[in-house]
Amino acid sequence: MSNLTITIDDAVLKQARMRALEEGTSVNAELRSYLETYSGIKKSPLEAVKNIARLSDENPCFSNGRTWTRDDLYDRWEQYHK
């Protein structure tokens, strides 16, 4: 693993450290995660959600344009869990 040195305003770093502490993480961990997402190694949570939505829209097994009522879903659950 490589080290990286950056220059950042003292006030920004102080706020970042306080936020990281509140969130139970570290500035280093947050920067590492950001760089993984920025470099394309890791997908952002928003991108992952968009991919799931796209896949469900493309897969005809999910709904075929049908909207489900609560009763439909309950009946279907009972059918498979008897």
- pTM over 0.85, yes/no: no
Burial class for 38, CB neighbours closer than 10 Å (0-12, 13-18, 19+): exposed
Asked if residues 42 and 33 have their Cβ atoms less than 8 Å apart, the reply is yes
Domains of the chain by residue range: 10-45+54-80
Tens digits of residue pLDDT in 19-62: 999 999 999 999 999 998 888 888 778 887 888 888 777 776 66
Q: With the C-alpha atoms ordered 60, 64, 67, 71, is the resulting torsion angle positive or negative?
A: negative
CA distances from 26 to 13, 17, 20, 81 (A): 11, 7, 5, 45
Amino acid at 9: D
